[in-house]
Amino acid sequence: MRQTKLTKAARGRECQVRIPGVCNGNPETTVLAHYRMSGTCGVGMKPNDLQGAWACSACHDACDSRGSAISREEARQYHAEGVMRTQALLISEGVVVAC
């Protein structure tokens, strides 16, 4: 898998998905978790990295429906909020420029 500047930027960062009772709070496990949505991805194609949230391994598992106790709808809501928080941090740090 190709590592972009935005996927690399997730390393060591605080989880922005923050699912209560799920988040492990360990920045060493944080990766860029892509938010999948019809029209932006498909079979063998990930969404753009701007549609990603910094997620710890536990939150990433929940977002990808891997053994989580929360519903798919709840996970999608937390993931979407995490994408927005991640974008806000990237903008505030000057990594991404908002027009």
User: Hey, which residues are catalytic here?
Assistant: 34
> Please, which pLDDT band fits residue 53 given cuts at 50, 70 and 90?
very high
Q: What is the pLDDT of residues 71-93, one digit of tens each?
A: 999 999 999 999 999 999 999 99
Nearest to 54, CA basis, from 93, 28, 92, 21? 28
- What are the C-alpha distances in Å from 39 to residues 34, 35, 36, 45? 14, 12, 9, 11
- 39: pLDDT strictly greater than 60: no
Instruction: Kindly list the domain boundaries of the chain, sorted by start residue.
Output: 5-92
For 68, which DSSP code? -
Report which DSSP code applies to 37: -
Question: Residue type for 61, please?
Answer: D
pTM of the model: 0.87
* Residue the block writes with tokens 């498909």: 42
Confidence of residue 37 (pLDDT cuts 50, 70, 90): low
CATH superfamily of 5-92: prophage-derive protein ybcO (3.30.50.20)
